[in-house]
Amino acid sequence: MTDRVIQVENVGKRYRIRHGDGGHYTALRDVIANMIRRGFRPRDGGGRAADDEDFWALRNVSFNVDRGEVVGIIGRNGAGKSTMLKTLSRITEPTEGRLELGGRVASLLEVGTGFHPELTGRENIYLNGAILGMSRAEIKRKFDEIVAFAEVEKFLDMPVKRYSSGMYVRLAFAVAAHVEPEILIVDEVLAVGDAEFQKKCLGKMKEVSTGGRTVLFVSHNLVAVQSLCSRGLFLKSGKLQIDAEIKKAIDTYLGDGADAVGEIVWDNSATAPRDDAMRLSAVRVRSEGRVTSSVYLNRAVAIEIDYETLTTELSATVSIHLDIMGTCAFVGGARSSIHSRGMHRATCILPANLLNNGTYHVSVYLITDVTNLRVIQRDAISFDVHDAGREEYMGQIIGTVRPSLEWSLVSGGVLG
């Protein structure tokens, strides 16, 4: 028989967006004027101003979690992940639906939540521990363990406002992880940690889960999510898209491609990028045979360019520019060849383990006679490259490319 610790039934969270109240700064006279003005604003049947707007951060979300499960909640920015965790942490009440929690909850939703910047690290351990439900005796008993985990011994009596972001998050996570909750809720704590700290965090969360406690983990670091979690919830626009085994949930999320544009097709030849000799028809990204805007870095990527030559016996070629964060990763072009009049497709294969994590933009150039630039389509398409897992480091590796290089090691004896 399962031991259920979280029940979420048709939960929704609505926020009301008010329009027409002016700019960011409001003087006292403006507040009074707005109060009077709102008194005369037209109201709907529910007493709401007619120009107010409802925004549902969550809608009809239902799932259950059993004791000891480690569940990853994934989705793009604005999907409702943090709102879901805030309702589970009782920070905000749902507008509709019902949720039940079977045990003490420790939440780390933002770096240093509950910390006071003027207090020292030592004082904040006691303050934050108390906020998370620990008794003074419990905090005192675990104090040395918390400090050792956070690695801030030298700075314990310094106000935390002088801590670096890394020190801040180490201390915040250390306190939350040592509460010994039945349910640990963690939101993006790995975003600011270094490689060694990320390993410690993952190790601690695994230790928590193997002890029969439950972990809910939100992160954009899909490698960390897949490493830690056995199950995934994919949220999109406040709605639960899939509740499945973690790899299936991640694959569904990656295939969603909401932010990048993996294909563009010009059906109307009059509006397509063109000149009197060449016309661009389509640009797309394929991975594993399908058009997509999200790929894993350990899988090959094909960039297809469909174009038409409008004259016969034309010496033509295609070139692509790949950019990330405004930086050119590389330029690549096909060998020039004689084209007959009609449609053509050029395909560029980017090998696996070449590109780094991030969003890449593809610009396309159609060229004749080697140097005659005929058609330019900047930022024609874009695609996201996601980490497929490197156990030695869970974070973003710097650089525009990330090749998997062949290494050899010689030890002992005479090196030469």
Average pLDDT over residues 305-317: 93
80 vs 203, residue with greater confidence: 80
Find where tokens 């969003």 sit.
Answer: 359
* Cα distance between residue 318 and residue 340, in whole Å: 15
Task: Burial-class residue 25 by CB neighbours within 10 Å (0-12, 13-18, 19+).
Answer: exposed
- As given in the structure block, the two tokens for residue 197 are 């700290």
At position 165, the amino acid (one-letter code) is S
3-state secondary structure of 152: coil
3-state secondary structure of 117: coil
Q: How confident is the model at residue 126 (pLDDT cuts 50, 70, 90)?
A: very high
Helical ranges in 280-398 per DSSP H = none
Q: Which percentage of the chain shows pLDDT scores above 90?
A: 39
pTM score, whole prediction: 0.62
- What is the average pLDDT value for the chain, to the nearest integer? 83
Task: Burial-class residue 220 by CB neighbours within 10 Å (0-12, 13-18, 19+).
Answer: middle
Q: How confident is the model at residue 238 (pLDDT cuts 50, 70, 90)?
A: very high
Q: In the predicted model, is pLDDT for residue 294 greater than 70?
A: yes
- In this predicted structure, what is the pLDDT of residue 42? 57
At position 301, the amino acid (one-letter code) is V
Nearest to residue 186, comparing CAs of 211, 199, 204, 168?
A: 204
- In this predicted structure, what is the pLDDT of residue 244? 94
298 vs 199, residue with greater confidence: 298
Q: With beta carbons less than 8 A apart as the criterion, state whether 15 and 55 touch.
A: yes
Question: What does the pLDDT look like over 138-160, one tens digit per residue?
Answer: 999 999 999 998 888 999 999 98
Least confident of 190-204, 225-239, 297-311, 315-329: 190-204
Least confident of 47-56, 98-107, 344-353: 47-56
Q: In the predicted model, is pLDDT for residue 89 greater than 60?
A: yes
210 vs 122, residue with greater confidence: 122
Nearest to residue 230, comparing CAs of 240, 221, 243?
A: 243
Q: In the predicted model, is pLDDT for residue 265 greater than 90?
A: yes
Average pLDDT over residues 316-336: 89
Angle 66-242-180 from CA coordinates, rounded to 5°: 30
Q: With beta carbons less than 8 A apart as the criterion, state whether 122 and 156 touch.
A: yes
Residue 31: how many CB atoms within 10 A of its CB? 11
At position 264, the amino acid (one-letter code) is I
Least confident of 85-89, 263-267, 268-272: 268-272
- In this predicted structure, what is the pLDDT of residue 113? 64
Which of 51-55, 86-90, 168-172, 275-279 has the highest average model confidence (pLDDT)? 275-279
- In this predicted structure, what is the pLDDT of residue 181? 78
Least confident of 19-33, 125-139, 352-366: 19-33
Helical ranges in 189-266 per DSSP H = 195-210, 222-228, 246-256
286 vs 388, residue with greater confidence: 286
Q: With beta carbons less than 8 A apart as the criterion, state whether 169 and 124 touch.
A: no
When computed from its CA atoms, the radius of gyration of the chain, rounded to whole angstroms, is 27
Q: How confident is the model at residue 32 (pLDDT cuts 50, 70, 90)?
A: low
Residue 392 DSSP code = T
Task: Burial-class residue 325 by CB neighbours within 10 Å (0-12, 13-18, 19+).
Answer: exposed
- Alpha-carbon dihedral sign for residues 104, 110, 111, 115: negative
* Cα distance between residue 87 and residue 399, in whole Å: 38
140 vs 107, residue with greater confidence: 140
Q: In the predicted model, is pLDDT for residue 13 greater than 90?
A: yes
231 vs 392, residue with greater confidence: 231
